[in-house]
Amino acid sequence: MLTKYDRIKVIIVDDHPIVSKGLETLLAKENGFEVIASFALGLDSLPFLEKNEVDIVLLDLSLPDINGIDLCMKIKQTNPKCCVLALSNHIERTLIMQMLKNGASGYILKNSPVDEIICCINQCLKGEISFSKEVKEIISKPSINELKERPRLTRREKQILSLVEEGKTTISIAELLFVSPLTIETHRRNLMQKFDVKNALELIKIAHEQGLL
């Protein structure tokens, strides 16, 4: 029989108590696992990871204080040896790829069957990159926007694109960059044409898909 020192040490970072409790109950039934902590706020997990031995972090992407993609990178910087397995409802391919880029060992959806979740955890612990079945299908099919050639942007266009993503208006961008609102409108129009979109939401979405944001 495994002692508590032999068990795989797991922490859960998810702001939904039902999800955290469900995962804890699920893993308690599996021989060899021990949930040693749960956190509703992502940044609260970092001091714990600095002081404790953790084998795997089950990480949600949508947290109240920080997005899971950024937190994944911080976790790997804090505790490089632990695995991070994304557990999310988000099915956007770009988010999945960004999690992997930031050091995640896998990505599974919250509606995955129990045996699939356990299988993915075990694969990650063996040093493999693991995905649930639905996620495998998503990453195997890049979107049309990802297949398009990335437009070439000027330094100023990249700067404005970043400010648009932050939700800043034409007038506020003009004030920040010390130019006229008409100049900003011209840049925005040029960006729309380069990305072949009709509004700012589509612009930001495609820029993310093509790795420009």
Distance, in Å, from the CA atom of 39 to the CA atom of 36, rounded to the nearest integer, reads 11
How would you write the pLDDT of the chain (213 residues) with one tens digit per residue?
A: 444 547 899 999 999 999 999 999 989 888 889 999 999 999 999 999 999 999 999 999 989 999 999 999 999 999 999 999 999 998 888 788 889 989 999 999 999 998 899 999 999 999 999 999 999 988 877 665 555 667 889 999 999 999 999 999 999 999 999 999 999 999 999 999 988 888 888 888 888 876 677
Nearest to 105 by CA among 53, 42, 57, 48: 57
Domain boundaries, the chain: 8-139, 145-209
8-139: CATH superfamily = Response regulator (3.40.50.2300)
Nearest 5°: CA angle at 124, between 120 and 126?
120
> Which pTM value belongs to this model?
0.68
The answer to whether domain 8-139 and domain 145-209 are alike in fold is no
Contact between 108 and 87 under an 8 Å Cβ cutoff? The reply is: yes
pLDDT the model gives residue 86: 97
pLDDT the model gives residue 2: 42
Question: Under 8 Å CB-to-CB from 163, ≥6 apart: which residues?
Answer: 173, 176
- What CATH number labels 145-209? 1.10.10.10
Distance, in Å, from the CA atom of 185 to the CA atom of 174, rounded to the nearest integer, reads 9
Distance, in Å, from the CA atom of 120 to the CA atom of 137, rounded to the nearest integer, reads 15
